[in-house]
Amino acid sequence: MSVVVRRAVDRLASTARARHVTLTVSDKEPGEVIGDGPQLIDAVANLIGNAIAYSHEGARVAVTCARRKNGDDEVIEIAVTDNGIGIADADQERIFDRFFRVDPDRSRASGGTGLGLSIVKLVTEAHGGSVSLWSKVGSGSTFTLRLPALISPDHPASNNDQEVAS
């Protein structure tokens, strides 16, 4: 997943610089998932792009990638955190709906279709994962993708029938 995160960050680095947003990456215990690399890059890039767009000049956007336990399973967790405008509780329920825009006036000014977060959700679920949101108005937001981790051949839970897609 390090490659996915790095490519998504590279795609948005110039946008962050233009908005004077500090973009940081932390990759702890990287792992792999089975999936479509370009789709996953697009999903992570959508989250980073939104974090940049909805943050004030001089803000921070942090992207973290870590392998975590989720019950008996292991997941790769990618989180995009900003200290931007945040999302009101009432809007959080619909934020992943197609064409939903929190602020239509801002949407006209910044462009976009209202499809980015619905695409993130569809791609993540198509890869057997989930996406969640934490947000507080005035403090910022964290979007977290959780994708099933690829178990290495020497891992005790693996079996010889596991197929790896490249």
The per-residue pLDDT for 93 is: 82
The per-residue pLDDT for 73 is: 87
Above 60 in pLDDT, residue 166?
Answer: no
Instruction: Characterize the bridge pairing of strands 130-136 and 73-82.
Output: unpaired
Domains and CATH numbers, the chain: 2-148 (3.30.565.10)
Instruction: Say how far apart CA 75 and CA 122 lie, in whole Å.
Output: 18
Above 70 in pLDDT, residue 102?
Answer: no
SS3 49: helix
Could you tell me the pLDDT band of residue 41, with boundaries at 50, 70 and 90?
A: very high
Could you tell me the pLDDT band of residue 100, with boundaries at 50, 70 and 90?
A: low
Residue 48 contacts residue 8 (beta carbons within 8 Å): yes
Inter-axis angle of helices 37-53 and 2-18, nearest 10: 30
